[in-house]
Amino acid sequence: MTHSTDLNQVLFDRARRVIPGGVNSPVRAFKAVGGTPRFVTRAQGAYFWDANGQRHIDYIGSWGPMILGHGHPAVLEAVQKAALDGFSFGAPTEREVELAEAILERVPSMDMVRLVSSGTEAGMSAIRLARGATGRSKLIKFEGCYHGHADALLVKAGSGLATFGNPTSAGVPPEVVQHTLVLEYNNLQQLEAAFALHGKELACLIIEPIAGNMNFVRASVPFMTRCRELCSQYGALFIFDEVMTGFRVALGSAQSVYARSIPGFEPDITVMGKVIGGGMPLAAFGGKRAVMEHLAPIGTVYQAGTLSGNPVATACGLATLREIGKPGFYEDLSRKTQLLVKGLQGAADQAGVPFCGDSEGGMFGFFLFKDLPQNYATVMTTDSKRFNTLFHGLLDRGVYIAPALYEAGFVSAAHTEADIAETVAAAAEVFRLL
């Protein structure tokens, strides 16, 4: 610490007087791990500096968007240039068309895409679209998958497959979630039973293909295969929430990873966010033309946004997509991410700490277990005290991972092998304390 008073604490106290909990998104408050959130003053490459002037190696990267690291020169230039031409018009621009084309070119399951400002908005709109396109109301989601905070998605499982969900937030009326069925991730039997009971009334099934909101849990290939088959068989739309995995795990996103094992695999609707905005408020949802043409102004499903397709945000997203499209980008990113996970595994093994990790592209997760969990209930059996010791041990050593055990981590193109070695060395010290 370069100051005798803790300036993060000073800011946190001030923030709590004017902002509920001192933060504008709950996880930032460090409630799960305790302690004082770090207030960021600036960031560059793989690092950010907090109010005390301490440097942190950043494995959150704004929860995924910063795949190139902070302040990438080409992105910065694009944003500065765009800002000079105006911040927002509420009228169409060529750049929106360019970004739509750039997204569609890389994710062939989509013929058309609509740009919005947040992942929440994209997920909510995708569900409205699915309901409008099918004329049905019910939907399936999975426990531990996060799709933003739209009312109908803030729901936990009811008491059985015949009963629908219960709200997980105050302020969500039970009637609003009565059409949402919550199933266990990777549970084939439940999936079969739910379709047998409700298949003909289902508008859609929404899934995080690699769930990053329960740390890092992959949908198994047999499970994903069956989701696709059952949706097709019953006429429900299959929605891939790739807000986190989109352009993060591969250039073709998580759907391209599954298409390697399931020939011809495609979702019906894809939801994107995070990386496609490169750190600016930008998200999207897209799919086949016949589905997308249900949207206003050509169709009957209403959806709109004052700042949608914002010219500065689209410039940021386009510049980011250009960089990640360069040859070898994902090979390099994957190699570094694997190096990190292997390094952590080695350090844990040496300290005799049960540990397992997994990664895809620039997204990773690890658990203080011997085997990778398959669902939310198992993830949540993590010893939170041990996780918190690990979190604070790393934080004290300048390594910033998510302040909650159910969040994924992210490596950027700006992280060097030296950064990873420093991280592994810090982790080795902390594992010895566990």
Ligand X SMILES: *Cc1c(COP(=O)(O)O)cnc(C)c1O
Question: Counting contacts by CB under 6 A, is residue 278 touching ligand X?
Answer: no
User: Using CB under 6 A, which of the segments 83-91, 241-249, 297-305, 378-386 binds ligand X?
Assistant: 241-249
Reply yes or no on whether 146 is catalytic. yes
Q: Which of 146, 185, 400, 406 is catalytic?
A: 146
Question: Counting contacts by CB under 6 A, is residue 167 touching ligand X?
Answer: no
Q: Nearer Cβ to ligand X, position 122 or 181?
A: 122
Residues in 172-211 at the binding interface with ligand X, rule: CB under 6 A: 208
**Contact map string, positions 67 to 106, toward ligand X, x by CB under 6 A:** ----------------------------------------
Question: Counting contacts by CB under 6 A, is residue 308 touching ligand X?
Answer: no
> How many residues in the chain?
434
Question: Counting contacts by CB under 6 A, is residue 244 touching ligand X?
Answer: yes
Question: Counting contacts by CB under 6 A, is residue 375 touching ligand X?
Answer: no
Reply yes or no on whether 200 is catalytic. no
Question: Counting contacts by CB under 6 A, is residue 119 touching ligand X?
Answer: yes
Contacting residue, 22, 37, 148, 393, with ligand X by CB under 6 A: 148
Reply yes or no on whether 274 is catalytic. yes
Q: Which of 241, 268, 358, 419 is catalytic?
A: 241
**Residue with the closest Cβ to ligand X?**
119
Q: Nearer Cβ to ligand X, position 402 or 426?
A: 402
Question: Counting contacts by CB under 6 A, is residue 273 touching ligand X?
Answer: yes
Contacting residue, 100, 243, 250, 363, with ligand X by CB under 6 A: 243
| Residue whose C-alpha is closest to residue 72's, from 330, 315, 328, 343 | 315
Contacting residue, 123, 132, 278, 409, with ligand X by CB under 6 A: 123
What is the smallest separation between the CB atom of 118 and ligand X, expressed in angstroms? 4
Q: Which of 59, 138, 268, 274 is catalytic?
A: 274
Cβ atoms of 376 and 389 closer than 8 Å: no
Question: Counting contacts by CB under 6 A, is residue 405 touching ligand X?
Answer: no
What is the smallest separation between the CB atom of 286 and ligand X, expressed in angstroms? 15
Question: Counting contacts by CB under 6 A, is residue 355 touching ligand X?
Answer: no
Q: Which residues are catalytic?
A: 146, 241, 274
Residues that bind ligand X (CB under 6 A): 118-120, 123, 146-148, 208, 212-213, 241, 243-244, 273, 283
